[in-house]
Chains A and B, each alone.
Chain A
Amino acid sequence: MGRTITVAVTGLHRGDNPQPGAAVARSLRRALPDVRIVALSYDPLESALYSRDLDRVDSTYLMPYPGKGPDHLCARIAYVHGRERLDILIPCLDSELSNFIEIQPDLERQGIAIMLPSRDAFERRAKDHLSDFCEQHGLPAPRTLVVNDASQLTQCANEIGYPLYIKGKFYEAWLVYTAVELFEKFDSLVRTWGLPVLVQEALIGEEFDVLGLADAAGGIVGQCAIRKLLRTATGKGFGGIVVKDPEIDRKSRLIIKELGWRGPFEIEFLKTPGRPHVLFEINPRFPAWVDFPSQIGCNLPLRLVDMLLGRPPTTLEVCDAGQMFIRHSIDLVGDMAELAKLSVDGEYPDGTLAPMAEVGK
């Protein structure tokens, strides 16, 4: 048996807007029971910190918010690495990727393996540049305008027409029907995510998502395509069914190749009746549903670990159309004592935050 692999993961909250980190942990621990999962957490209330299941963490470190910049991130990871001897780091949040790309050489010098897209690829797929990318490569895209100032809002909205989507730089999208709603959401998005904000044509249709992993040459190592079966009010997929659509596969391969993408990705398409698939977003990380394909033989986080450690590649099975997932929410037990310790110390190296007394009752 080889030595224990230590993997640092971010994005561990599984609330109404679930983050991918816990799903990555589940995928890894299912295949590697001895793996050590180190949580890099932005909030002591991230739900997976309280799990005792496959997605449990072995230690937790609070991290500086992405807005603090790459230097603070680098210093904090150096500290964590000193305590934990990290082998691999898998960032799972859009908002932190820019900083991680910046510090990738430092991480690799410390011996922490990480797989990220190039800065160029990361920027080209960003929401405010996606229209240009689509135009260059003949991919249908929703009409999108970039707003850098509130004074541009009315004109942009008039050009697009109501209803329309107003979207934050990293997260959040709101369907708005009036100028009043538009300005309200604009203020809210700017406060949370900063500028720019996007105003986008509202297309109503079925959403198809492709989750995948690309190698260093821009080829797709493995992928799973789904139609979202259940969507929350904010469009989050709480259920999905595998589809086998050659057009989606072709477009996904084209996108990844043209970007020269490296690492995990999620591509979102929208299909309205009588129109081709429209490219909606390209997310630079595994999505929150990554543990679904892992459970049907296509464990992409595990394959990523193989690639980063130079291990023999895990076989990835083709996800068969008709296999489906339904997201299931459960209640985890916590105790204020653990939350307080993590909040005060900034770290909790003693495993899950769930108190032992509750286990097995």
Chain B
Amino acid sequence: MSRKKPGADNKPGADTSRGSRFRFYSDQFMLDTVTGQFFRVSPPAGFIFKNLIQGKTGEELVDIVEKHFGIDRPKAIRDVEMFLAELRSVGIIEN
């Protein structure tokens, strides 16, 4: 009798590693399955976070952002660093 979950991009796993812990509903809504906190995110933030939870390193994220958004590298570095700092400040990631 379990209800079908609408729109969840990834099914929960048995572990709570970063990839299975966070669940996206479209590109702009994200659930932390451990804390039950949910967030509305901008499309660029959603794009970066999806790559982050797939295991990409900070350097790789900069490469991806630079290429995907067609911006210069210093701006990509700054955007990624600022975004990661924001995630840390609200406790979504620890490092």
Contacts and interface: CB of A to CB of B under 8 A. Distances in A.
Contact of A320 (B5, B35, B38, B91): B5
A229 B1 CA distance: 24
A243 B5 contact: no
A316 B18 CA distance: 27
Contacts of A296: 1-3
For A242, A245, A246, the residue with the greatest tally of chain B CB atoms inside 10 Å of its CB is: A245
Given A273-B91, A322-B23, A245 B5 contact: no
Interface in B19-36: 23, 31, 33-36
A306 interface: no
B16 A246 contact: yes
A297 B34 contact: no
Contact of B36 (A242, A273, A317): A242
Contacts of A243: 33-36
A192 interface: no
Name the interface size band of chain B: 10 to 19
B9 to A, nearest CB: 11
B85 to A, nearest CB: 16
A321 B2 contact: no
A229 to B, nearest CB: 8
B4 to A, nearest CB: 10
Given A273-B91, A322-B23, A317 B2 contact: yes
Interface in A142-187: none
A123 interface: no
Name the interface size band of chain A: 20 to 34
Interface string A295-322: 1110000000000000000000100111
Nearest to B34: A245
Contacts of B35: 206, 227, 243, 245, 271
B23 A321 contact: yes
A317 B5 CA distance: 14
A226 interface: yes
Contacts of A295: 1, 3
B1 A241 contact: no
A61 to B, nearest CB: 32
Contacts of A271: 35
B2 A322 contact: no
B33 A317 contact: no
Contacts of A206: 35-36
A321 B3 contact: no
Contacts of A320: 2, 5, 12
Contacts of B5: 320, 322-323
A244 interface: yes
Contacts of A273: 91
B31 A322 contact: yes
A241 B36 contact: yes
B16 A322 contact: no
B2 A244 contact: no
Q: Which 8 A-B pairs have the closest CB atoms?
A: A227-B36, A321-B33, A297-B2, A243-B36, A241-B36, A297-B1, A245-B34, A244-B33
Interface of A: 206, 208, 226-227, 229, 241-246, 271, 273, 295-297, 317, 320-323
Interface of B: 1-3, 5, 8, 12, 16, 23, 31, 33-38, 91
